[in-house]
Chains A and B, each alone.
Chain A
Amino acid sequence: MRHGKYPFIAGFLAAPAILYLVFVIGPYAQAFQIALTNWRGVTAHADYVGLENFSRIFQDDLFWKAMRNHGEMLLAVPLLTIVLALFFAFLLNVAGKRRAGSSSGLPGSGFYRVVFFFPQVLSIAVVGVLFQVVYRPDESGVLNGILGWFGAEPVGFLTEPGVALWAIMGVMIWSGVGFYLVLFSAGMASIPKELYEAAELEGAGRVRVFFSITLPLLRNTVQVAWVYLGIGVLDGFALVQVLSVNNGGPDGATTVVGMQVWQNAFAYYKFGYASAMGVVLFFVVMSVTALTLRLTRREQLEY
């Protein structure tokens, strides 16, 4: 058996490697190449224009609006999602009454765990359509219907420039919390019970336990969550496409780079320009990821 081992293993590795090359690396490389052309997507012609597409991007108002929106979302969405998920995970796993030395969640935590996970089961398009109804700008909308009972004027959640991006971020957070709650719960389950016992013997309250034991030992999980959420926020296309007014409006208030790529490629047939935006986005995502990992790097805690 030893004789044919390497060809055997190589055979297994080759298939996924080739698939990856053809369907992932190939299109990536092609996007970099198309970004240097003025290809319109439908003709045989594509002339090389050098870096012209990239210099255009720097003068594109909507692109910069999209980048600013990404910036705001990068500040708000990961932070709020992680804080909420940590809070709920702590309540569901650790914050309950302690009996015979073992900690557990609040009463009914099994039920809530399932409920919090619901949004994760829905596809993002379904979530979008759901929130169309929630945010609808007249009395037939869920939120405005409730506001109407109190005699308030309907609010244009997705039409007011100052509110629209927050409304969309709210959906991102709502649909994200459940997943990270489960992720953090798994992390909390792996924290040894003795640590909690010891803390309890020392007389630590729940808040102290959270900040001195749970959070430091979850550090790696939180870091992963931050990177995932950061990448998710730099996409955001599907929700913006379904929810926003006039594709990323009002006036670019909710637009994202993905939306701009889509608009330029499939509405304006500027595939070269759209590819250049994609390339820029690629580097932004890489930088944000590298930066997050770098800033949060610390000695591993052994326990």
Chain B
Amino acid sequence: MSSIPDLGRRDLLKGAIAAGATLAAGAALSGCAMGGGSDDSGPKTAKGKRSADNPFGVVPNSSLELVWFKGGSPLYLADAVNPLFKRKFPKATLKQSSSERLSQTLQPRFVGGNPPDYVDNAGADALDFGALIQDGQVLDLTELYEAPSIDDPDKKVKDTLLPGAYENAITDGKPYALSYFTRAFGLWYNAQLFEKEGWEAPTTWDDFLALCKELKKAGITPYGFAGKNAADYHTTVLLASAAKIGGHEVITDIDNLEDGAWKSDAVIQAADAWAEIGAKYTSKSFKGLIHTEVQLRQNQGKLAFYPSGDWLESEQKEATTKDFTYAMMPVPSVTTADALPAHAIYATVGGGWTFIPAKAKNAPAALEYMRMIMSREGAQAFTKASGWLTTVQGGADGVELPPGMAAAQKAIDTAAKDNSLFETKIQTWYRPLSEETKGAVLQLMFEGGTGRQFAERMQKKADEIKKDSSVKKYKR
């Protein structure tokens, strides 16, 4: 595996000569992109004795190096799990560092064959996960997911997670990622306002339309999203409607780039239903606003329903007044014969790009660390500190959540019981396709588009990507 960078460089230089590029430029590219590959073979992992309590064989006095993405918030996960690790292995050394720019910080270490043991690979500047997997730089986590869980040794780790979480860790047939964070998507509204006016969160499309009519009469824009930079928020609710009408296959077909996936009746019907909302119950001005501007208008009582993930409540903390309480409802059922129940929701369950490098020096300790992250104690500590939900079943038990998050948690729990959680992968797999949905929903919602037009536009882009041999294809 470690010879891959060398091969790459040799090919590149051969090509450089063939292409007649200048020697200086060739050296410059290989200088910045390549670096020297190291020739040591296989991970120099420290192995200790395995036992029921120590399934990966952690050496008690070994050293574990963790690298975290540092965004705007504290390192909640590290703060929650480090004490658990220290409690079990008091003699072990925990080395940790954090960076906002993981790509620049870590790329040379991967090329040099000297990566850390655990990488919290997130943020706008994360390492390209697909590229790392292709390069053989990521450890296969099968051992972790098949190991007995901490809370119940009779259950495997993967069985203690929400349905779909394990599947979301898988790329090309193997689990590579720590599948941990959960996000619920739905329509958000002000519970206090609804209670005061005697409005109820609708579950059918007819009720939804009736309420929109009433809202409009009351001088409130019934529905809106930010066209300038967050049109993809509407993509999630449109696909949610499509999935409810036609079932999970609607989404998986889209993700697998099946022929005619976007032109399925479910997608067209969902898009038509939303086109009516766009034509009658939104404000054209939202097309030119950014998400914070639209969210502020909701806080000011000018907008009733706003589509978003469950980060909304904490994002708007500063703008939320005393008479505003966030609540989330699933997208109402479009027909009475929908394939999925009304409580089905769009949710990202796990996934993500956090991984253990294939050349980690202390992989057993990193695996054990991940097993602790996925324990109920770890999840509860994390959720308590951060207010964010995890894939761990019962991970939020006994934790007091803010009202909006509590609503999101309840929605996930209800939907998880009968397998009514769904999500699309196009944002991770085919970014140009998910970008196209933004333009397409703007057309649909603000320019008098139709469901068929939307479906044809998206199908054209999907076909284009399917035909493009330079794009790596994925299946689920």
Please list the residues of chain A having a beta carbon within 8 angstroms of any beta carbon in chain B. Answer: 26, 29-30, 32-34, 36-50, 52, 135-138, 154, 156-159, 245-246, 249-252, 263, 267-270
Interface residue SS majority, chain A:
loop
| Closest chain B CB from A40 CB (angstroms) | 6
Q: Bound state CA distance, A33 and B439, in angstroms?
A: 33
B285 touches A137 (CB 8 A): yes
B231 touches A246 (CB 8 A): yes
Across the interface, name the chain A residue whose C-beta is closest to B25: A29
Interface residue SS majority, chain B:
helix
Q: Bound state CA distance, A102 and B243, in angstroms?
A: 79
Q: Bound state CA distance, A38 and B471, in angstroms?
A: 11
A46 touches B131 (CB 8 A): no
Which residues of chain A are near B442, meaning CB under 8 Å? 245-246, 249-251
| Closest chain B CB from A21 CB (angstroms) | 9
A245 touches B134 (CB 8 A): no
Interface stretch, picked from B30-38, B58-66, B178-186, B375-383, is B30-38
Q: A34-B29, A46-B29, A46-B33 are in contact. Are A137 and B231 (CB under 8 A)?
A: no
B283 touches A44 (CB 8 A): no
Q: Bound state CA distance, A138 and B435, in angstroms?
A: 25
Across the interface, name the chain A residue whose C-beta is closest to B431: A268
Q: A45-B8, A251-B439 are in contact. Are A138 and B285 (CB under 8 A)?
A: yes
Within 8 A of A (CB), among B26-50: 26, 28-29, 33-35, 37
Q: Bound state CA distance, A268 and B131, in angstroms?
A: 13
A44 touches B438 (CB 8 A): no
| Closest chain B CB from A172 CB (angstroms) | 19
Q: Bound state CA distance, A270 and B9, in angstroms?
A: 19
A46 touches B8 (CB 8 A): yes
Assuming A47-B11, A246-B228, A246-B438, what are 15 further A-B pairs, CB within 8 angstroms?
A29-B21, A30-B28, A33-B16, A33-B25, A42-B128, A42-B131, A43-B132, A44-B35, A137-B289, A156-B285, A158-B228, A158-B288, A246-B229, A252-B439, A268-B432
Q: Bound state CA distance, A245 and B439, in angstroms?
A: 10
Which residues of chain B are near A30, meaning CB under 8 Å? 25, 28-29
| Closest chain A CB from B468 CB (angstroms) | 9
Instruction: Kindly state whether residue B397 has any CB partner on chain A within 8 Å.
Output: no
Which residues of chain A are near B24, meaning CB under 8 Å? 26, 29
24 chain-A/chain-B pairs, Cβ below 8 angstroms: A26-B28, A29-B24, A29-B28, A30-B29, A33-B29, A36-B19, A40-B131, A43-B132, A44-B5, A44-B8, A44-B111, A47-B15, A135-B288, A136-B285, A138-B289, A154-B285, A156-B285, A158-B228, A246-B442, A250-B443, A250-B447, A251-B439, A251-B443, A270-B470
Which residues of chain A are near B132, meaning CB under 8 Å? 42-43
Instruction: Kindly state whether residue B215 has any CB partner on chain A within 8 Å.
Output: no
B4 touches A44 (CB 8 A): yes
Q: Bound state CA distance, A263 and B447, in angstroms?
A: 24
Please list the residues of chain B having a beta carbon within 8 angstroms of any beta carbon in chain A. Answer: 4-5, 8-9, 11-12, 15-16, 18-19, 21-22, 24-26, 28-29, 33-35, 37, 103, 107, 111, 127-128, 131-132, 134-135, 227-229, 231, 283-289, 431-432, 435, 438-439, 442-443, 446-447, 470
Q: Bound state CA distance, A157 and B4, in angstroms?
A: 52
B439 touches A267 (CB 8 A): no
| Closest chain B CB from A155 CB (angstroms) | 10
Which residues of chain A are near B135, meaning CB under 8 Å? 43-45
B15 touches A48 (CB 8 A): yes
A246 touches B25 (CB 8 A): no
Interface centre among A33, A38, A250 (most CB of B within 10 A): A33
Across the interface, name the chain B residue whose C-beta is closest to A164: B288
Which residues of chain B are near A159, meaning CB under 8 Å? 227, 284, 287-288, 446
B15 touches A156 (CB 8 A): no
Q: Bound state CA distance, A39 and B127, in angstroms?
A: 15
Across the interface, name the chain A residue whose C-beta is closest to B103: A42
Q: Bound state CA distance, A29 and B447, in angstroms?
A: 44
Across the interface, name the chain A residue whose C-beta is closest to B287: A159
Q: Bound state CA distance, A50 and B15, in angstroms?
A: 9
Quick one: which of B287, B431, B435 contacts A245, CB cutoff 8 A?
A: B287
| Closest chain A CB from B285 CB (angstroms) | 4
Interface centre among A26, A249, A267 (most CB of B within 10 A): A249
Quick one: which of A42, A44, A268 contacts B9, CB cutoff 8 A?
A: A44
A246 touches B12 (CB 8 A): no
A44 touches B227 (CB 8 A): no
A33 touches B21 (CB 8 A): yes
Across the interface, name the chain A residue whose C-beta is closest to B472: A40
Q: Bound state CA distance, A39 and B28, in angstroms?
A: 14
Quick one: which of B128, B231, B287 contacts A156, CB cutoff 8 A?
A: B287
Which residues of chain B are near A38, meaning CB under 8 Å? 470
| Closest chain A CB from B258 CB (angstroms) | 22
Which residues of chain A are near B229, meaning CB under 8 Å? 246
| Closest chain B CB from A257 CB (angstroms) | 17
B15 touches A44 (CB 8 A): no
B134 touches A33 (CB 8 A): no
The 6 closest A-B pairs by CB, nearest first: A48-B15, A137-B288, A138-B285, A44-B5, A42-B128, A137-B285
Q: A43-B131, A246-B228 are in contact. Are A156 and B284 (CB under 8 A)?
A: yes
Q: Bound state CA distance, A33 and B15, in angstroms?
A: 10
Q: Bound state CA distance, A260 and B131, in angstroms?
A: 22
Q: Bound state CA distance, A39 and B12, in angstroms?
A: 10
Which residues of chain A are near B446, meaning CB under 8 Å? 159
Across the interface, name the chain A residue whose C-beta is closest to B11: A47
Which residues of chain A are near B9, meaning CB under 8 Å? 44
Which residues of chain B are near A156, meaning CB under 8 Å? 284-285, 287-288
B287 touches A43 (CB 8 A): no
Which residues of chain A are near B127, meaning CB under 8 Å? 42
Q: Bound state CA distance, A245 and B225, in angstroms?
A: 13
Which residues of chain B are near A263, meaning CB under 8 Å? 435
Q: A156-B284, A245-B442 are in contact. Are A43 and B25 (CB under 8 A)?
A: no
Which residues of chain A are near B18, meaning CB under 8 Å? 48
Which residues of chain A are near B227, meaning CB under 8 Å? 159, 245-246
Q: Bound state CA distance, A252 and B227, in angstroms?
A: 14
B289 touches A136 (CB 8 A): yes
Which residues of chain B are near A136, meaning CB under 8 Å? 285, 288-289
Across the interface, name the chain B residue whose C-beta is closest to A251: B439
Interface centre among B11, B21, B228 (most CB of A within 10 A): B228
Q: Bound state CA distance, A39 and B131, in angstroms?
A: 11
A37 touches B15 (CB 8 A): yes
| Closest chain A CB from B176 CB (angstroms) | 16
B19 touches A249 (CB 8 A): no
Which residues of chain B are near A268, meaning CB under 8 Å? 431-432
Q: Bound state CA distance, A43 and B446, in angstroms?
A: 40
Across the interface, name the chain B residue whose C-beta is closest to A263: B435
| Closest chain A CB from B233 CB (angstroms) | 12
Q: Bound state CA distance, A50 and B16, in angstroms?
A: 10
Quick one: which of A26, A40, A48, A267 contacts B431, CB cutoff 8 A?
A: A267
